[in-house]
């Protein structure tokens, strides 16, 4: 009998976490093999390896403990990838050489699979003097553009884009440009962005007082604090960024405030970290721990919870010793403090099983009690590890116990730490769990509410066709199995109907016992008033949250849920009429273009592994309005087995190119083709099929001639395709599978069709 609770769970495992050879041949034959691989690897640092391998396997079994994706995919594979999810890079020096040294470090970290955060407040503002070269500084935003371009070219862990967080202090002279930077839908798309909001700033906002923007000791401008706050609010109201991080609150509560100052977070915001800080993540699946679900006696098995938490803490502590690190500074930082981020997933499902409405006062109280129990268990388990293996090297009992978080800790836990020390400086964090929640059977994600009770997902089959299957929330499926397909009780609520204030209430309840932070998205209806929207952020501040991220459907990032295909004509245009976008780069024409007598082009050689003969692609271009665009393609090979399909591909692609318009969707269609026999590794990247490789060559040509801005920037579907569903709102397509099925989950756009997430 399959261990998977839903077909999507097995598909996510196969696509994301199953260990395979370079040619796609599975090494993990079953999910039990994956659990065994992880358990064995994390037990190898123990003296009694066999005992702990079994304990770790039991924790992983049936998806009770869910290590983050990097651990699940990378542990025991001997690949050169880090098992850590989160990095904040070193402090960016205010010098050209230092800035580009930091850029190199970022590239090396993302190459091994790490998401990174940076504070750009340390770079002098635009227009400031640059001594010695008689020039003005270009400012931090210009260097962020450089980081963004670099990130586009780095494949994180060989399979996905790197994710980045950029922060800037609310008193930096360029803060207003930072706030509005992403109003341009093509700018800084590889970054999540958050403003570091200080306590004095919030006091000035409430008092409607003045606020100095300064760098070093120089005041560049003075503004009204409330005006600046309103600019932050307006930007996030209009296009969902920047987020807000209450940075003083984070530093005051930090267990390690005596040895570090935090100025940035990882890409999803749940892990505030010092320079070169690193943290790994994992989640307790609360949905698997509720006994007698939907009955009056429904309860969380707290004995099982305590044992599971203790095992999870030990596993995560072992990752610190078992993992590779992109940079030696990151390894030293991790070893000195042994930070881990144990969190939860399936909270909303567990509340439903107890008959509690997410967002109610009782649900908030229950959440606080559960998180308190997890935190107690985690800290006591870390004390036990300290008895056995020693406290973290920078432990100082007096200073540690005087920190903000530890002052509210239970006295027996404080006494144990005072006597024995503690192995891990910080232990709890609530991360985005979008993909691992699907892998666990579509449990609710992190501490988020259920996103939707059920939805229809398009599944790519091996023959290239797509079928539809229903994906049902884990708790909803349990209800159906127990009571049949009857109407759900009133306490079943989802993210689409929940008031924003209920989101904040739940975040604040969980935050009380989380020593790091929380990745949480507060979904807001599109018609929420601006004043009501601002109240959400002020509530988050007043209720003790460490940050706030909202998502309101908007024109830049699209709708919360999108399922329609694009229209056959642009808005306001008639079919066949010329239509120009971005200065004439895209021209739709009613008739195919005539071929000129002579064309300029390029020929590319594609060598597919295990193939005797190379494939040669010639792509010729035409110039329209001073801009080059692709006109035709020729695909040739000495391998006669390729003859029929290469000829067909030549004719079809050339016919599409000649009709005009934004033909970049051809690239994305080809790149999405998966060969059921497996793909191949080409120049350090896994390519799922030879057709995908051809798509990659065409994409590179389009970049070379300026038709595309960069890799992955093409359309995901034909802009002149027939409309499938005009009733549903339209938004962004998934960059992995091309489906219009992206939703905002815990601050990350996540595809419900394939599980792709920018953040992991």
Our answer to whether residue 270 is catalytic in this structure is yes
Q: Are 708 and 702 in contact (CB under 8 A)?
A: yes
How far separated are the first and last CA of the chain, in Å rounded?
A: 29
- How far from the centroid of its chain's Cα atoms is residue 550's Cα? 15
Q: Are 674 and 719 in contact (CB under 8 A)?
A: no
Q: Are 755 and 15 in contact (CB under 8 A)?
A: yes
> Cα separations (Å) of 512 from 487, 518, 588?
35, 11, 56
Overall residue count recorded for the chain in this entry: 760
CA 276 to CA 106: how far, in whole Å? 11
Tracing tokens 């881990």 back to the chain, one arrives at 340
CA 202 to CA 281: how far, in whole Å? 31
CA 560 to CA 749: how far, in whole Å? 9
| HEC per residue, 737-759 | CCCCCEEEECCEEEECCCCCECC
User: Residues 53, 260, 270, 699: which is the catalytic one?
Assistant: 270
CA dihedral of residues 369, 371, 374, 378 (deg, nearest 10) = -130
Q: What angle do CA 395, 398, 404 make, to 5 degrees?
A: 90
CA 165 to CA 519: how far, in whole Å? 13
- How far from the centroid of its chain's Cα atoms is residue 192's Cα? 9
CA 452 to CA 468: how far, in whole Å? 17
User: Residues 251, 266, 424, 620: which is the catalytic one?
Assistant: 266
User: Residues 86, 151, 268, 737: which is the catalytic one?
Assistant: 268
CA 545 to CA 353: how far, in whole Å? 27
Q: Are 563 and 740 in contact (CB under 8 A)?
A: yes
Contact partners, residue 507, CB within 8 Å, separation at least 6: 447, 518, 520, 522, 540, 543, 545
Our answer to whether residue 266 is catalytic in this structure is yes
- How far from the centroid of its chain's Cα atoms is residue 464's Cα? 28
DSSP one-letter code for 448: P
Give the count of beta carbons closer than 10 Å to the beta carbon of residue 578: 12
Contact partners, residue 592, CB within 8 Å, separation at least 6: 655, 658, 659, 660
Tracing tokens 């999540």 back to the chain, one arrives at 192
Name the helix (H) or strand (E) containing 629.
Answer: strand 627-637
Going 360 to 366 to 372 to 375, the CA torsion angle's sign is: negative
Burial of 463: CB neighbours in 10 Å, binned 0-12, 13-18, 19+: exposed
Q: What is the DSSP string of 698-714?
A: HHHHHHHTTSSSSTT-S
**Max CA-CA distance within the chain?**
86
CA 528 to CA 233: how far, in whole Å? 13
CA 215 to CA 134: how far, in whole Å? 19
Q: Catalytic amino acids? A: 266, 268, 270
């Amino acid at each position: 009998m399959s261990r998977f609770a839903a077909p999507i769970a097995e598909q996510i495992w196969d696509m994301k976490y199953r260990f395979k050879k370079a040619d796609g041949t599975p090494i993990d034959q079953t999910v039990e093999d994956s659990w065994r691989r992880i358990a064995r690897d994390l037990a190898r640092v123990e003296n009694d390896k066999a005992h702990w391998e079994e304990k770790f396997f039991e924790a992983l079994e049936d998806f009770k403990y869910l290590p983050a994706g990097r651990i699940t995919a990378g542990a025991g594979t001997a690949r050169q990838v880090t098992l850590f999810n989160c990095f904040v890079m070193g402090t960016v020096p205010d010098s050209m050489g230092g800035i580009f040294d930091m850029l190199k470090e970022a590239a090396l970290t993302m190459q091994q699979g790490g998401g990174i955060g940076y504070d750009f407040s340390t770079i002098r503002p635009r227009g400031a003097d640059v001594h010695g070269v008689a020039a003005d500084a270009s400012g931090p935003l210009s260097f962020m553009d450089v980081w963004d371009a670099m990130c586009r070219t780095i494949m994180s862990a060989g399979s996905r884009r790197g994710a980045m967080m950029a922060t800037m202090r609310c008193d930096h002279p360029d803060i207003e440009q930072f706030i509005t930077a992403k109003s341009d839908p093509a700018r800084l798309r590889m970054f999540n962005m958050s403003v570091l909001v200080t306590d004095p700033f919030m006091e000035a906002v409430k008092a409607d007082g003045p606020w100095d923007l300064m760098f070093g000791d120089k005041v560049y401008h003075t503004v009204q604090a409330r005006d600046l706050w309103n600019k932050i609010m307006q930007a996030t109201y209009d296009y969902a960024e920047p987020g807000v991080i209450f940075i003083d609150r984070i530093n005051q509560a930090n267990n390690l405030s005596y040895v570090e100052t935090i100025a940035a977070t990882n890409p999803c915001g749940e892990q505030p970290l010092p320079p070169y800080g690193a943290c790994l993540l994992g989640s307790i699946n609360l949905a698997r721990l509720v006994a007698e679900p939907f009955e009056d006696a429904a309860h969380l098995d707290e004995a099982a919870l305590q044992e599971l938490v203790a095992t999870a803490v030990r596993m995560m502590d072992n990752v610190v010793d078992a993992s590779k690190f992109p940079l030696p500074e990151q390894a030293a930082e991790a070893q000195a403090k042994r930070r881990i981020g144990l969190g939860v997933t399936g909270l909303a499902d567990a509340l439903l099983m107890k008959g509690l409405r997410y967002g109610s006062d009782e649900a908030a109280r229950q959440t606080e009690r559960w998180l308190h129990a997890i935190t107690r268990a985690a800290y006591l388990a870390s004390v036990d590890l300290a008895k056995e293996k020693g406290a973290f090297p920078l432990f100082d009992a007096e200073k540690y116990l005087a920190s903000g978080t530890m002052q509210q800790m239970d006295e027996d836990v404080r006494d144990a730490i005072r006597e024995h020390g503690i192995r891990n400086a910080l232990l709890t964090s609530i991360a985005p769990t979008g993909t691992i929640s699907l892998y666990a059977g579509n449990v609710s994600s992190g501490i988020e509410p259920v996103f939707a009770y059920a939805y229809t997902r398009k599944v790519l089959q091996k023959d290239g066709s797509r079928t539809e299957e229903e994906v049902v929330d884990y708790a909803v499926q349990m209800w159906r199995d127990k009571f049949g397909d009857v109407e759900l009780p009133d306490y079943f609520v989802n993210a689409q109907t929940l008031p924003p204030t209920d989101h904040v209430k739940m975040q604040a309840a969980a935050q009380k016992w989380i020593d790091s932070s929380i990745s949480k998205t507060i979904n807001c209806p599109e018609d929420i008033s601006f004043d009501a929207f601002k109240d959400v952020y002020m509530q988050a501040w007043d209720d003790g949250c460490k940050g706030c991220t909202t998502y309101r459907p908007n024109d830049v990032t699209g709708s919360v849920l999108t399922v329609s295909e694009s229209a056959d004509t642009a808005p306001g245009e008639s079919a066949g009429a010329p239509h120009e976008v971005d200065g004439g780069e895209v021209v739709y024409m009613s008739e195919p273009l005539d071929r000129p007598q002579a064309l300029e082009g390029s020929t590319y050689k594609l060598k597919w592994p295990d193939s005797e003969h190379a494939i040669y692609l010639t792509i010729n271009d035409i110039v329209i309005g001073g801009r080059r665009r692709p006109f035709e393609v020729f695909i040739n090979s000495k391998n006669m087995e390729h003859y029929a399909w290469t000829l067909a591909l030549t004719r079809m692609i050339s016919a599409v190119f000649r009709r005009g318009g934004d033909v970049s969707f051809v690239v994305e269609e080809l790149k999405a083709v998966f060969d059921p026999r497996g793909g191949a590794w080409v120049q350090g990247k896994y390519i799922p099929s030879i057709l995908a490789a051809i798509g990659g060559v065409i994409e590179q040509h389009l970049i070379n001639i300026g038709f595309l801005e960069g890799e992955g920037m093409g359309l995901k579907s034909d802009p002149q395709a027939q409309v499938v569903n005009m009733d549903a709102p339209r938004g962004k397509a998934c960059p992995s599978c091309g489906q219009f099925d992206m939703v905002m989950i815990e601050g990350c756009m996540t595809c419900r069709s394939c599980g792709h997430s920018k953040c992991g």
